[in-house]
Chain A
Amino acid sequence: MTRYIVRRLLLLIPVLLGMTLISFAVTKAIPTDPIIASISQEASNHPEIVAAYRKAWGLDQPLPVQYFTYVWNLLHGNMGVSIYTHRAVVDDLLDYLPATVELATVTIVFSVVLSIPLGILAAMRRGGMIDFVVRMLTLAGVAMPIFWLALVLLNIFYLRLGWAPAPGRLDYALQPPPTVTRLYIVDSLIAGDPATAWNALSHLALPAFVLATWSVGLLTRMTRASMLSVLPQDFLRAARSKGASEFYVIRRHAAPNATIPVVTVIGLAYGDLLSGALLVETIFGWPGIGRYAFNAAVHVDFPAIIGVALTVGFIYTIVNLAVDVVYALLDPRVRASLTAVRA
């Protein structure tokens, strides 16, 4: 298992280098001048200002020089300076990524906690009212436009009812917790400030719910389908014949087998959430990576674009590696195949 993990981690290096090349090539193929597009109207009329910017970002150099300079700097831990924000990309990512990680994590936890029991329940009551309601709701969750749902829920639960807190990560009256992880809930707890952690969690509830409509829909449907394929299996019949209760049969034998394929989907869904939820972030005033990535893309800000791509790609790969490890832990057959590969 250790060798497998190390091999997967080593494979990350060419994958990430490939991502730099693709991202760089794509941004350079777009016929937009990142300097002209990001400086002010009057500054664009002053060649000395434009030239100073081009020099500062090395855009006066040939493309191969620009690329290899970027990679060389990257290998030395420098992701460059954003053309749009004029700040180190690392600093930008440290500012924007944690908000997205926090939102995505709460969303996926909420989704898993809700969708697996719902999927199991629906499968057990196949064809019944519960199954019908769950299927309809999950279908709606997958199909509903996220931005529409966000606007509607914000209007109802914040503006009209006043149940939900104002958009943003914290009440304005609260000081953000001392920075450790930049995840407000975690940092507040580290600082011994549960009230702020609670407040941060309450601010997460509505945007996380909106995002979860999609992931809950996906995971519930997946769990239900997987459960339906497991329920007729002989080993369950054998367990029942031994006198085990239905609850025990489902909890001990059916559910663990049914959730194995769901684990893979959880990893993919988490990766998708991390790559940014632009519309939800926009509507809920959430300072996440989605809007940063959007701004980077429209301004052809290649250091920022590559920075986001590398970071999200890295996290995505690590999450999926973790999923594969969990998969192996859950499924003895996968463990056996890994052992066979090692042999």
Chain B
Amino acid sequence: MSNTRRNGQGGLPGALSRRRFIESGAALATLPPALAAAMGAAMPAPARAAGIKALIIAQQPGSLRTVDPGRASEVDGAAIQHALYDSLLSLNGADPAPAYASKWTISPDGLTYVFDLHPDWKFNDGTPVTPEDYIFSCNRQRNNKADASWLLGNVASMTKSGPNQITVTLKSLDVDFLKLVPNPSLSVTKAATVREHGGTDAADAATKDTATTWLDQHSVGTGPFMIDHWDRGSEMVLRANPYYWGPKTFDTVVFRFVQDPTTQRDLLLRGDAHIAVNLTPDLAADLQKRGPASKTAVATVPALGIAYLGFNLKAAGPISKPKAWEAIRYAVDYEGLKNIYLGGGQPTGSIVPPQLPNALPVAEGMKQDIAKAKAALAELGMPNGFTFKLTYGADQIIQNVPASDVVQKVKEDLAAVGITAELIGEPLTQELTDYRGAKADAVLHLWAVDFPGWTDFLPVYAPGGHVALARQNWAVDSSPEAKEIAALVAKAVASVDPKAQIEPALQAQRLINQHGPYAWLFETNYQLGYRTDVIKTLSVDLLSFFNIPTSEFV
């Protein structure tokens, strides 16, 4: 909340003669800041409004394309969308919690969900929220075939079943359906206003819906804030929603788009930002080292992303063989990786992040064992090691940890047992094209969370899953172990009873750890810096990473 005014210090040092000053070269170095300081002191600029209570957040513009909930899907916009809109449910940790729906029931077969809605909620224009608004928002989202339109792909019908009730029927069992619902892309928007500005929920919404331009500068939601303006590349300013159903916090929230993490750290230290979103692990460690005197603290948030090595079963050479994967898994120094990711990561038991149900305990995760790595190489028939190409995004930041640092460490670890990883650093977009097209022999990659449920991870990486098949070429019939894993996963996802999911899901992960074409390196964390003189507790959830409405402020 501090609006740091420059203090007018600086200027040319009068003690020096002009000649000496010029000759010292100091003039060139001090001219611009002196000018800036002089300008700031000479004419103080008027504030937007005196006494305004503002929260300022420094974050990278990243891939933020739109805040239209019908089309947005980017992680970078989740916190903004969370401040503007509500979905039927929110998250409490990884568990669904009430939002527009005050309570819900699930049919015994797990296919029908009935949501009871708050009857008194209002949009930010003061008009009441209706079930029709939510249904319109979801249909628009599904039919426009944008990035997140798959979220409702398994919904057979969504109907108003009472004045304040919605019933959703699924095509097939989805044990994590309630984890999908809090996604900001499934937020409620006012149908009439969106229609008025070109929105449609018709089947041809992919080509006919034109409301996004308007929704990028205005919002018609139920969240605590509404859009004041979005100056792309510079800032997005939100102002308080007078009809918000929850407690008031700030008059204004300013998202300042700052690409450089060091600059974000500096803004935080100067009090010109209250939250810095994209701190690298070393910058977060620097803030922690400065301690309370700096009036800053660091909140570490599990990002539910898994960094891993993936191997292609159709690659030429030994890297396509299970014993090669085993040798690599045993050769990697997982403890040593902690020195690379610092607070930006944590160990994982397998592909399911530790915070989610049915995650394999971290204690059962992969561990370095050089003797076993060498034994696997001997069984492979290559006791002196082998060479393979390891592709990675040279410009990729694995949720604030540089991929190049991770891959160098892996290369060193593998070299210790004779395995040579030829690093192929590509632009991330090229790496994505190669990996998603199954053209890479081996990759360092990240699977980021789409929804905080274990089915966003395990079935995807099990034999025959989206990633396993399309990128690793790991089919169900590729080995007896693959068949066994696929059967276990199928059993888990078909169990309505959460308790019945546990054992097959855990066993599947154990087998993937032993036989799968992967080495799970770590789970990623976000590290957010914040001002302790403004924020008492920075509330975080597993989708929007920080949550303004539920944070506590000084």
Contacts and interface: CB of A to CB of B under 8 A. Distances in A.
Contact of A41 (B207, B437, B447): B447
A95 B429 contact: no
Nearest to A196: B45
B206 interface: yes
A298 B397 CA distance: 14
Interface stretch (A14-22, A151-159, A232-240, A246-254): A151-159
A74 interface: no
A173 B3 contact: yes
A209 B47 contact: no
A32 B234 contact: no
Contacts of B145: 48-49, 52
Contacts of B470: 45
Contact of B32 (A37, A48, A208, A285): A208
Contact of B258 (A48, A129, A285): A285
B56 A172 contact: yes
A37 B44 contact: no
B48 A173 contact: yes
A175 B45 CA distance: 10
B40 A287 contact: no
B122 interface: no
Nearest to A279: B260
Interface string A157-179: 11101111111110111111000
A25 B52 CA distance: 52
Contacts of A195: 43-46
A292 interface: yes
Given A42-B150, A133-B22, A285-B260, A33 B437 contact: yes
B9 A163 contact: yes
A162 B148 contact: no
Contacts of B197: none
A164 B54 contact: no
Contacts of B35: 202, 205
Contacts of B23: 129-130, 133
Contact of A162 (B66, B270, B467): B270
B147 A39 contact: yes
A265 interface: no
A154 B32 contact: no
A298 B396 CA distance: 12
Interface in A36-64: 36-46, 48-49, 52, 56
Contacts of A302: none
B6 A194 contact: no
B263 interface: yes
B36 A163 contact: yes
B429 A198 contact: no
Interface string A170-212: 0111111000000000000000001110110111011011000
A86 interface: yes
Contacts of A43: 73, 147-150
Contact of B150 (A46, A165, A298): A46
Interface in B23-69: 23, 25, 28, 31-37, 39-40, 42-48, 52, 54, 56, 61, 65-66
A159 B269 contact: yes
B475 to A, nearest CB: 16
Contact of B25 (A39, A85, A99, A133): A133
Contact of A171 (B45, B153, B267): B45
A291 interface: yes
B536 interface: no
A333 B139 CA distance: 71
A282 B436 contact: no
B427 interface: yes
A45 B466 contact: yes
Interface in A264-317: 281-285, 287-288, 291-292, 298-300
A137 interface: yes
A42 B73 CA distance: 10
Contact of A46 (B32, B42, B44, B153): B153
A136 B25 CA distance: 9
A19 to B, nearest CB: 23
B149 A153 contact: no
Contacts, number: 221
B285 interface: no
Contact of A163 (B34, B66, B148, B272): B34
Nearest to B40: A202
A187 B270 CA distance: 29
Given A158-B266, A164-B36, A298 B433 contact: no
B33 A206 contact: yes
A31 interface: yes
A33 B71 CA distance: 21
A216 B31 CA distance: 13
A41 B234 contact: no
A154 to B, nearest CB: 7
Contacts of B428: 37, 298
A282 B35 CA distance: 22
Interface in B180-237: 206-207, 212-213, 229, 231-235
B283 to A, nearest CB: 13
Nearest to B465: A45
B459 to A, nearest CB: 12
A240 to B, nearest CB: 25
B232 A96 contact: yes
B379 interface: no
A31 B148 contact: no
A167 B267 contact: yes
B430 interface: yes
Contacts of B25: 133, 136-137
A298 B395 contact: yes
Contacts of B467: 45
B54 to A, nearest CB: 7
Contacts of A205: 32-33, 35-36, 39
Interface string B405-443: 000000000000000000000011110110011000000
A84 interface: yes
Q: Would you list the 5 A-B pairs with minimal beta carbon distance, nearest first?
A: A287-B233, A209-B32, A37-B429, A157-B33, A52-B145
22 contacts: A39-B147, A40-B148, A45-B470, A87-B65, A129-B23, A133-B25, A157-B32, A159-B269, A163-B7, A164-B33, A164-B36, A165-B6, A166-B272, A174-B45, A174-B48, A199-B43, A203-B36, A205-B36, A209-B32, A283-B263, A287-B232, A287-B233
Interface of B: 3-4, 6-7, 9-10, 22-23, 25, 28, 31-37, 39-40, 42-48, 52, 54, 56, 61, 65-66, 71, 73-74, 145-150, 153, 206-207, 212-213, 229, 231-235, 254, 256-260, 262-263, 266-267, 269-270, 272, 395, 427-430, 432-433, 436-437, 447-448, 450, 466-467, 470
Given A36-B437, A205-B35, A287-B231, 4 more contacts: A49-B149, A153-B32, A205-B32, A298-B395
